[in-house]
Structures are given as structure tokens and as C-alpha cells.
């Protein structure tokens, strides 16, 4: 008989593959069964339940399903409420649970709550020497984005630079995340030459690690294209946008945050070319997606509305 933990891990691995293949509904369905398997086999409060909930939260967040991402993050936090600081696995699970909820809070513009959660997770992680810096780099970048959205750009840059340093000699996804966020900050600050270098570095690292057709690679291409648009390199940027959107449309759900960002930035390029009609259509699509995912009162929805008004 298959061990329930091994069975749950098998199901979660299958769910991740389904998600990467563009089978979001299948991914969610099989992942939800993993929770049922673990809950049936383990007593309430067991670390295996927390680990599965964290996986589910990350899966749902990756599919822009924020209600369910929050549900499983909060469940993991409850399960890890009474953890032992001497047990490395329990500490890592607690850090993971806090990081998952912090991500959802940040996306929903609950920046104060996100900041507290990220700081708590980072403080816990700093006291626990782990063989991989992946968790800490992810938390630093998440907190940096909170500061970026809150207008604390200097603090954001400090965290992103720390994340780059912590990634060290990594040439894969860990370092790519840090360079990607540094490039986003460059874009916000108007430092486009530096941003192009940082975005290209992130794209190269992630493409080498994940292959050319991964949605995270498409997201890096969108960022690089957005920076190239500001530099006036419109032909190269347009090719990157079209390739990225084709990848995202093939793999991600119809209403996904990354698609909204891609449409928004591609709209800026179309506007720069003088194609106001195309810019309006792309911005409307961005608005529709963000409204569905984030609600009408989210600041990014208000920003999309203001941009759309420019094209009407």
C-alpha cells in the first residue's frame, strides 16, 4: 500500500506538471485530493498537513486564485502555530506559511499586514541556517516589493541587493528572482539602461533553468520588453511581447495577473507606435483581468482605469 505522504507528494508533483502544461483545472483538482489524503492519514496539527497546505497555497497563488491561496496559507499558519524552534522542519514550515500569506496580502494591497508577515518570516529564517538561500531570497524580494509599492524605494533597493548577494553563485531561479525585482525597481525609477541589463540577466538565468516556454520566463520577457519600450527599441520589444503573451495565453488561465501586466505593457508600446485603438483594447483587457482578480477598489485597477481614459 502506498504511503499517504508519498501519495500526497506524488499528487502534488502531478499538479505542478499540470499547471506548467496549461491544465489549471486538472492541477487544482489533483492537488485538492492531496490535502484530503494527508488529512485522513495524519492527526490534526501534523506538519505534513502544513506542508501540503503550503504547496496548495503556492499553486493557487501561481494561478491567480487568491481566495484559495489565502485559505490554505491561513490553514498552514494555524497548523504551525505551536512549533519548536529546535525542529528545522517545523521552522521552515512556519516560515513558508507566513511567506505564503504575506504574498497574498501584498497582492491585495494590504501592505501593513504583508510587511509584518514578511519580517516575522525573515527573522525566523535568519536564526535557522539552511543549506539553500531560496526561502530568504524569496522573502527579501517579497518585502522589497511591499516597500516598492509603499514608495520606500531605497529600502526596496537595499533588500533586492541583499537578495542578489545572498543568491551568491547561483545561476538559476533563485538569482533570477532577485535580478528580476531589481529590474522592476529600475523600471519604476526610470533607470532603463541598468534595468535592461538586470532584466536580461534574469531572463537568461531563468530560461537556462526552466526552458524557453515556461510562464516565469515569459514574465521575464515582458519586463525586458517594457524596459526596451522606454528605451525606444520598439521592434525588439514587440517581438518579446507577442512571444510572451502567446506563451501566457497557452499555459495560464484566462484571468491571470501576469496576462494583465503583459497586456498593460504591450498597450504602452502600441501607444508609442501611435496605434491608440490597439492600446485601448490591450488596456481594457488588463482592466478586466485586474478587476476580476483584485476588485474594483484596488489601486492597480484605478491605475488601469486612468490609463484607459487616455486612449478614449
Domains parsed from the chain with CATH numbers: 1-107 (1.25.40.10), 252-312 (1.25.40)
Kindly state the cell numbers that stand for 308. Answer: 484607459
Residue-wise pLDDT tens digits, 81-119: 877 766 778 888 999 999 999 999 999 999 999 999 999
Secondary structure in 3-state letters for 130-189: CCCCHHHHHHHHHHHHHHHHCCCHHHHHHHHHHHHHHHCCCCCHHHHHHHHHHHHHHHHH
Q: Is 247 helix (H, G, I), strand (E, B) or coil?
A: helix
With the CA atoms of 199, 203, 204 and 206 taken in that order, what torsion angle do they form, in degrees rounded to the nearest 10?
130
What's the pLDDT band for 44 if we cut at 50, 70, 90? confident
Instruction: List Cβ neighbours of 146 (8 Å cut-off, separation of 6 or more).
Output: 106, 111, 114, 115, 118
pLDDT of 7 = 85
What's the pLDDT band for 214 if we cut at 50, 70, 90? very high
DSSP state of 85: T
Residue-wise pLDDT tens digits, 176-209: 999 999 999 999 999 999 999 999 999 999 999 9
Residue-wise pLDDT tens digits, 124-180: 888 776 656 778 899 999 999 999 999 999 999 999 999 999 988 888 899 999 999
Would the CA dihedral through 8, 217, 265, 277 be positive or negative? negative
For residue 190, what is the enclosing H or E element?
none
pLDDT at 219 over 60: yes
Q: Give percent of the chain above pLDDT 90.
A: 72
pLDDT of 294 = 97
Task: Please report, for residues 18, 212, 264, the alpha-carbon distance to residue 57 in angstroms, rounded to integers and kept in the order given.
Answer: 16, 26, 26
Residue-wise pLDDT tens digits, 13-31: 898 888 888 888 888 899 8
Grid cell 539602461 is found at 193
151: buried, middle or exposed (CB in 10 Å: 19+, 13-18, 0-12)? exposed
pLDDT of 303 = 95
pLDDT at 260 over 90: yes
Residue-wise pLDDT tens digits, 220-240: 999 999 999 999 999 999 999
The answer to whether residues 91 and 62 touch, using CB atoms and an 8 Å cutoff, is no
pLDDT of 1 = 53
Kindly state the cell numbers that stand for 63. Answer: 494561478
298: buried, middle or exposed (CB in 10 Å: 19+, 13-18, 0-12)? middle
> What's the mean pLDDT in 268-292?
97
The answer to whether residues 220 and 202 touch, using CB atoms and an 8 Å cutoff, is yes
Alpha-carbon distance 197 to 214, whole Å? 21
* Phi and psi based region of residue 87 (left: phi greater than 0; alpha: psi -120 to 50; beta: remaining): beta
Amino acid at each position: 500500500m502506498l504511503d499517504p505522504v508519498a501519495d500526497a507528494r506524488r499528487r502534488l508533483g502531478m499538479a505542478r506538471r499540470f499547471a506548467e502544461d496549461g491544465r489549471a483545472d486538472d492541477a487544482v483538482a489533483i492537488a485538492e485530493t492531496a490535502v484530503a489524503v494527508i488529512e485522513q492519514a495524519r492527526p490534526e496539527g501534523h506538519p505534513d498537513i502544513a506542508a501540503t497546505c503550503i504547496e496548495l497555497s503556492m499553486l493557487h497563488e501561481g494561478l491567480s486564485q487568491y481566495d484559495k491561496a489565502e485559505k490554505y496559507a491561513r490553514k498552514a499558519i494555524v497548523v504551525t502555530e505551536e512549533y519548536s524552534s529546535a525542529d528545522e522542519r517545523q521552522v521552515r514550515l512556519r516560515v513558508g506559511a507566513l511567506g505564503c500569506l504575506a504574498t497574498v496580502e501584498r497582492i491585495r494591497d494590504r501592505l501593513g499586514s504583508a510587511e509584518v508577515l514578511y519580517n516575522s518570516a525573515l527573522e525566523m529564517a535568519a536564526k535557522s541556517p539552511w543549506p539553500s538561500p531560496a526561502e530568504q531570497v524569496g522573502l527579501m524580494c517579497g518585502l522589497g516589493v511591499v516597500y516598492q509599492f509603499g514608495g520606500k524605494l531605497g529600502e526596496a533597493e537595499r533588500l533586492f541587493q541583499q537578495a542578489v548577494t545572498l543568491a551568491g553563485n547561483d545561476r538559476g531561479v533563485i538569482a533570477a528572482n532577485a535580478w528580476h525585482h531589481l529590474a522592476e525597481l529600475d523600471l519604476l525609477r526610470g533607470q532603463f539602461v541598468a534595468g535592461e541589463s538586470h532584466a536580461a540577466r534574469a531572463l537568461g538565468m531563468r530560461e537556462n533553468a526552466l526552458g524557453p516556454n515556461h510562464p516565469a520566463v515569459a514574465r521575464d520577457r515582458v519586463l525586458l520588453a517594457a524596459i526596451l519600450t522606454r528605451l525606444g527599441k520598439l521592434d525588439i520589444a514587440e517581438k518579446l511581447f507577442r512571444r510572451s503573451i502567446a506563451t501566457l495565453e497557452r499555459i495560464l488561465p484566462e484571468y491571470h495577473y501576469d496576462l494583465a501586466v503583459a497586456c498593460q505593457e504591450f498597450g504602452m508600446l502600441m501607444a508609442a507606435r501611435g496605434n491608440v485603438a490597439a492600446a485601448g483594447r490591450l488596456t481594457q483587457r488588463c482592466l478586466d483581468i485586474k478587476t476580476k482578480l483584485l476588485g474594483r477598489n484596488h489601486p492597480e485597477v484605478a491605475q488601469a482605469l486612468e490609463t484607459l481614459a487616455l486612449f478614449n
